[in-house]
Each structure stands twice: as structure tokens, then as C-alpha cells.
Structure 1
Amino acid sequence: MENEKFIFCLEAIPDIDSSNTTEVVKVLEDMAVRQGIASIYKACDTIESLEESLNILLYEDHNFKDYEIIYLIMPGEANTILLNDYYYSIEEIAELFEGKMKGKVIHFGNKKILDLTDEESQYFLDVTGARAISGYGSKLSEISSTSTIDRIFFSLYQENDDLTEVVEMMFQKHFSLCKLLDFRLYY
């Protein structure tokens, strides 16, 4: 597929030296087999390992332009991520990604709430260069967005570059789930 959009997934885990396979890895592997969506997965347990993974992708992977979705599976409170017992604000994340995400969609799984004001979302987009940021306004631990609505979002985005149309289709076809998790797109 010529216009395929790859996913670069960064998941926060307690210890990157553990050899446990997470639900996220299983879902990404299944998406590759069943839906033909290619991805790269990296685990991180500190802000340094997050930054290192991003730098390897940016500066050593010659296919970086093909990775249109940066998929972040990280716990945290509203508009923060939690790594190694420290909370990083959305502004700190933006500064970490400064100028490096041109044209990318930054998508947060529902392990944290994404509830940005217009000013916060515009700051994030301006600083990172990202095309859009998306996530969920509800953090329901009993429902994983990774195995449900994220798959749908990624699949629809493979077929259609217009993010507003993708979100409209998601709400038309999966209204209850989108509403329950409070899917959000800032662009």
C-alpha cells in the first residue's frame, strides 16, 4: 500500500528490562496480521528512555516520514504522563518533541486523560509541529482503548487522510464507545 501510515508506539512500563509481553504488543502484532498496519514498538520507563527512543526514530530510522501516528501508552493524570514516579506536563512533552513531529498525529491511549484548552492544544501543536493530538477525556481502567477504539481509529486513518472525516465515521459507527471513552481530537 503506497500511502500506508505506520505507527510508532511508545509504552511506559515499570521496568524496560522485564521480558513480559504487554497487551499493547499483542494488539499491535494482531493489527499487523489482520489489518496490515505496520508498527514499531518501544518500551520506556524514564523520560531519558522516551527521549532516546524518539531520537533513534528521528535520526536513525530512514523511514521516519512513513510513521504518521505516534502512539503513546502512558499513565498519568489529566494532561500529564507518569514516568518513573514523576509527572511530566503536556507542555514538557511538547518541549521534548519540539519541532520533531511535523505532520504527525500524536495519539494518547486511555491510560490518562487528555483534556486540553484551546490554548494548550494550540501550544502543543505549534511547538511540536504535529498535525493533530488525540486521546480520551475518560480514563476507564476496565476498558482498554488499545484493544478497542484505537484499532478503529488507526484502521480508518489508513483509509482516509481527513482526520475530521475519520472522527465522524468513528462516531457514526461506534458512537457508544466514542462517547463512553470521550474521544477527542485537537488540530
Structure 2
Amino acid sequence: MSTIQAKVTETDKFIFCLEAVPDTEHTHTTEVLKILEDIALHQNITSIYKSCDTIEGLEDSLNNLLYEDHNFKDYEIIYLIMPGEANNILINDYYYSILEIAELFEGKMKGKLIHFANQKILDLTDEESQYFLDITGARAISGYGTKRREISSISTIDRVFFGLYQENDNYKEVVEEMFQKHYNLCKLLDFRLYY
């Protein structure tokens, strides 16, 4: 687990990032970790990074954060970097539905914003999004309706989203501002927010 620290202020919102990797035993610095370090350095947003290669690893990482980290309340953004198809994530060659993820996170995400990078498509019906929010307790879930290999949300619009959210915790206003300032990119990646 890596903690990427920035100068902390009383209003900071931290990021807890979970990235699915092929094998956690082979340690190397991923693009995501480099970007989180850059965000800490240039945007003063503190994050914890953890990789997982199994669903049990994802659950253990989350439980460690919930029950071991006394600063969990400060982690308002749960950032999931997981490949997959529409409304599914892929870990260790096995697909898990968004509904299975909701059950895994059951009651553990009170007040959190769960954000998926554009490595998978997030395309929820009203019923699915409401179920996810009700089961997890999350404030909102966000992601992208388009998966484009040539454009990484991680290095582009996600960092804008996190920076704006750091300044304003009204996620509806943040999304409006994102679309005002980065309309083409938001439309191209089909940014979505369910609340």
C-alpha cells in the first residue's frame, strides 16, 4: 500500500484508489500511481493507493481501510481502476457485476463518492444506480459511458474532477463546472454521475 501525501488542510478530501493488476507480487509503479503522486504534488490531494489481483484482495483492502485506518472519514472518493465491460469489472480473469460489487461494499460507503476510471463502461439504469446507492450507502457513483483506449480518464478528466471536488463538495455543481470547462472531453468519454 502506498500513501501519497500532500500538505493536509482541514477541508481536504482524500482519495482511496484500488487498482486491479495481474499480479500484486510483481511490484512496479503503474501509470495510476505516478499520476496520484503528481496530483499530490501539484494539486495537494492526498491519496492511498492499493493494488489487488483478486476479489478477496479488493475486499481485504477495503476492510483494512474501513477498520484499520482512523482517517477513513477523510477518504471521500473511492477511486476504482478496474478493467471490464459495461457494469462489470474484471479481476483475475473473472467478471463481477456492479450489483455484486454493491453487495461487497454493503453499508461500508456511507457518504462516499465511488468513481470508476474509463477502463470499463458505467451504464446503469435508474433502478441499478438506486440499488447500488441504497446498498452501499454511497452519496454518488460516477464513471464513463465510453471506454476509449487512446484516452485515459486517469491522466485527463479524473484529475480535473478530483481537483474541483476538493474545492466544492457539491458534486452536481462540480459536474456542471467540468462540463463548462471541459465539455468536449466530458462528452467524448461520456462522463456520468448517479446520485
For this structure pair, what is the TM-score category when the shorter chain's length is used for normalisation? over 0.9
Question: Offset at 1:176?
Answer: 0.3
Q: Residue 48 of structure 1 corresponds to which residue in structure 2?
A: 56
For 1:158 and 1:23, the matched residues in 2 are separated by 22
SS of the aligned residue for 1:7 comes to strand
SS of the aligned residue for 1:43 comes to strand
Q: Deviations over 1:37-78 (max 9, x none)?
A: 000000000000000000000000000000000000000000
Question: Offset at 1:2?
Answer: 1.0
Could you tell me which amino acid in structure 1 is paired with residue 104 of structure 2? L
Q: Deviations over 1:89-128 (max 9, x none)?
A: 0000000000000000000000000000000000000000
Q: Residue 120 of structure 2 corresponds to which residue in structure 1?
A: 112
Question: Offset at 1:141?
Answer: 0.5
The alignment yields a C-alpha RMSD, in angstroms, of 0.4
Q: Residue 33 of structure 1 corresponds to which residue in structure 2?
A: 41
Could you tell me which amino acid in structure 1 is paired with residue 16 of structure 2? F
Q: Residue 85 of structure 2 corresponds to which residue in structure 1?
A: 77
Aligned residue among 133, 144, 147 for 2:152: 144
Aligned residue among 165, 171, 174 for 2:173: 165
SS of the aligned residue for 1:50 comes to helix
- Structure 2 residue runs of 5 or longer lacking an equivalent are 1-8
Where do 1:4-43 residues align within 5 Å?
4-43=12-51
Q: Residue 64 of structure 1 corresponds to which residue in structure 2?
A: 72
- Structure 1 residue runs of 5 or longer lacking an equivalent are none
Q: Residue 155 of structure 1 corresponds to which residue in structure 2?
A: 163
Say yes or no: does 1:97 pair with 2:86.
Answer: no
Question: Offset at 1:3?
Answer: 1.1
| Count of aligned positions | 187
For 1:39 and 1:19, the matched residues in 2 are separated by 19
Misfit runs of 4+, over 4 Å: none
For 2:185 and 2:143, the matched residues in 1 are separated by 13
For 1:36 and 1:3, the matched residues in 2 are separated by 12
Question: Offset at 1:19?
Answer: 1.5
Could you tell me which amino acid in structure 1 is paired with residue 180 of structure 2? Q
